[in-house]
């Protein structure tokens, strides 16, 4: 029985090896022209991606400075209220505390709104970059009569000759050297 299982396993492996070349052929029997592109590399190394990153870093730095200034103002306001605590009547203290809580809530909402706007701007810029990458890959695919282009993340082993990432990067850097983050 053990010998039978070994024989069946060997037969399955042999069948898979014979079937593999067939899987890389089109329905009409012609071999498929396949390429691979490393999208992650393009989203990291292209001039446009680097311009997006530079802009985002500057925006985050400005944003953090504004948040820090707002927090400092609120801390000073809180210290002021605590310092006046013994001099104020209970209803005055309560009113100042409520006003302070409203300012804190407004500050938190402002931060959340700004963060959401920044995230939306980033996604829009990256969407522009991705769309250009797809357009360039389609153009290269058309010029090279490619039947199939796979993302590098979906491929375990690939011949370097099938990788068109450098071609895409060169064209991308020429056509879209930067993307404005709004």
Domain boundary assignment for the chain: 1-32, 33-175
Torsion of CA 102, 105, 109, 115, to 10 degrees: 140
Q: What is the pLDDT along the chain (182 residues), one digit of tens a residue?
A: 444 344 333 333 333 333 333 345 666 778 889 999 999 999 999 999 999 999 999 999 999 999 999 999 989 988 888 888 788 788 888 888 888 899 889 989 998 999 999 999 999 999 999 999 999 999 999 999 999 999 999 989 988 999 999 999 999 999 999 999 98
CA–CA gap between residue 149 and residue 127 (Å, rounded) = 20
User: Which CATH fold topology does 33-175 show?
Assistant: Protein Binding, DinI Protein; Chain A (3.30.910)
Question: Would you state the pLDDT for residue 90?
Answer: 82
What pLDDT does 38 receive? 95
Q: Are 25 and 32 in contact (CB under 8 A)?
A: yes
pLDDT computed for residue 3 by the predictor: 45
pLDDT value, residue 182: 86
Residue in 38, 110, 116 with CA at minimum distance from that of residue 74: 110
- pTM attached to this predicted model: 0.72
């Amino acid at each position: 029985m053990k010998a039978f299982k070994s024989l069946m396993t060997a037969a399955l492996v042999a069948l898979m090896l014979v079937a593999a070349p067939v899987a890389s052929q089109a329905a009409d029997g012609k071999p498929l022209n396949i390429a691979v592109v490393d999208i992650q590399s393009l989203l990291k190394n292209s001039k446009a991606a680097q311009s997006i990153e530079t802009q985002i870093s500057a925006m985050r730095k400005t944003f953090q400075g504004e948040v820090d200034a707002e927090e400092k103002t609120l801390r000073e306001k809180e210290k002021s209220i605590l310092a006046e605590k013994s001099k104020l009547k209970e209803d005055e203290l309560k009113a100042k505390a409520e006003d302070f809580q409203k300012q804190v809530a407004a500050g938190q909402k402002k931060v959340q709104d700004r963060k959401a706007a920044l995230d939306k701007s980033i996604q829009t810029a990256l969407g522009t970059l991705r769309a250009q990458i797809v357009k360039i890959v389609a153009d290269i695919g058309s010029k090279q009569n490619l039947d199939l282009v796979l993302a590098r993340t979906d491929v375990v082993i690939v011949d370097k000759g099938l990788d068109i990432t450098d071609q895409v990067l060169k064209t991308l850097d020429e056509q879209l050297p930067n993307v404005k983050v709004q």
